Amino acid sequence: MKSRSVLFAGLALSSLALAACGNNAPTPHVFAPTPSTAAAPAAASTAPAASTATPASVPAPQQTAANDTPAPPAQAYTGPALVPGVDYEEIPGGQPFAPNDGKVEVVEFFNYICPGCNAFEQGFETWEQRQAADVRITLVPATFRPDFTEYAKVYYAAQALGVAEKAHKAVFDAIHLQGILPGEGQPFDADKVAAFYAQFGVDPAQFKNTLSSFAVSGKINRAKQYMIASKIMSTPSLVVDGKYLVKGKSWDDMLRIADGLVAQQRATAGK
């Protein structure tokens, strides 16, 4: 699987408003009063406050080790022509989460307790595996509410300890399939989560200390700032090169649109 990158910057930002967790499953699940439909990702009834601030210049992200499988070649987009305002929204003044370094960046906004993100994960992972070497996948955990923020800290703590990528799918399964980690509507249990990560070679005490570290706090603040700048109101959400917020009528449609936008950015850059 291609590497997923994350980024550190210590920027302060106030808490965000409630937002929806999109879900294309037969029984829609939302966190905001506005109902979703089974056909499209849900939108929140209250959007985060708009921000015109340009994200600060930051160093290149730290990347986890990739496996030895060579990336497939770039594929031409053969789907229907993309329609602005229907398939995607342009983000005014949008910038990538991290310096492009000659790649097309695709950011996934997600959270472990989001049922829609869990439903989206398998298809997104398959999509990721067929991306060419000039595509960089960046995961940004959403921090809409306190319960989202706790699991955003979990992701960043795991990243700081070098186990975020190999534990990623297991955390979704532990919450949504096995029920061994607390999910939405349940009190967060740092001890239980820290003990869970022991199977990946992490000392539970070290994991708990990392959850409350300055480094993790800085990454949380950076994620909040970028969510506001990208106008994110639901999860999962995809943003291409910081410029385009993917819409779509289903999970598969979101990935089709992402393919089209990646090809568009590749052509624009003359890659």
Q: What is the 3-state secondary structure (H, E, C) of 243-266?
A: CEEECCCCHHHHHHHHHHHHHHHH
Q: How many C-beta neighbours within 10 Å does residue 1 have?
A: 16
Strand partners, 62: 6
In angstroms, how far is CA 131 from the centroid of its own chain?
Answer: 17
**Domain for residue 184, yes or no?**
yes
List, for residues 190-228, the tens digit of each pLDDT value: 999 999 999 999 999 999 999 999 999 999 999 999 999
**Domain for residue 64, yes or no?**
no
Is the Cβ–Cβ distance between 45 and 32 less than 8 Å?
yes
Cα–Cα distance, 216 to 102 (Å, whole number): 27
Q: Is 137 helix (H, G, I), strand (E, B) or coil?
A: strand
Is the Cβ–Cβ distance between 228 and 15 less than 8 Å?
no
Structure tokens at 24: 């294309």
Q: Write down the residue that tokens 């009528």 correspond to.
A: 249
**Domain for residue 47, yes or no?**
no
pLDDT at position 11? 34
Percent of the chain's residues with pLDDT above 70: 74
**Domain for residue 60, yes or no?**
no
The alpha helices in the chain, defined as continuous H runs, are 115-129, 146-160, 164-176, 190-196, 204-211, 214-229, 251-268
Cα–Cα distance, 17 to 223 (Å, whole number): 14
| pLDDT classification of 186: cutoffs 50, 70, 90 | very high
Write out the residue range of the structural domain in which residue 152 sits: 4-31+82-268
**Domain for residue 53, yes or no?**
no
List, for residues 70-90, the tens digit of each pLDDT value: 778 777 877 899 999 999 999
Secondary element (H or E) of residue 240: strand 237-240
Look up the pTM and report it. 0.78
Cα–Cα distance, 107 to 5 (Å, whole number): 9
Four-residue CA torsion sign, 138, 1, 144, 156 = negative
Structure tokens at 262: 């990646």
Angle made by CA atoms 130, 133, 139, in degrees to the nearest 5: 75
**Domain for residue 39, yes or no?**
no
First to last CA, the chain: 22
Q: Of 53-57, 128-132, 145-149, 234-238, where does mean pLDDT reach its minimum?
A: 53-57
Is the Cβ–Cβ distance between 25 and 79 less than 8 Å?
no
CATH number of the domain enclosing 101: 3.40.30.10
**Domain for residue 63, yes or no?**
no
Q: Of 26-30, 99-103, 180-184, 206-210, where does mean pLDDT reach its minimum?
A: 26-30
Cα–Cα distance, 232 to 160 (Å, whole number): 25
Q: How many domains does the chain have?
A: 1
**Domain for residue 71, yes or no?**
no
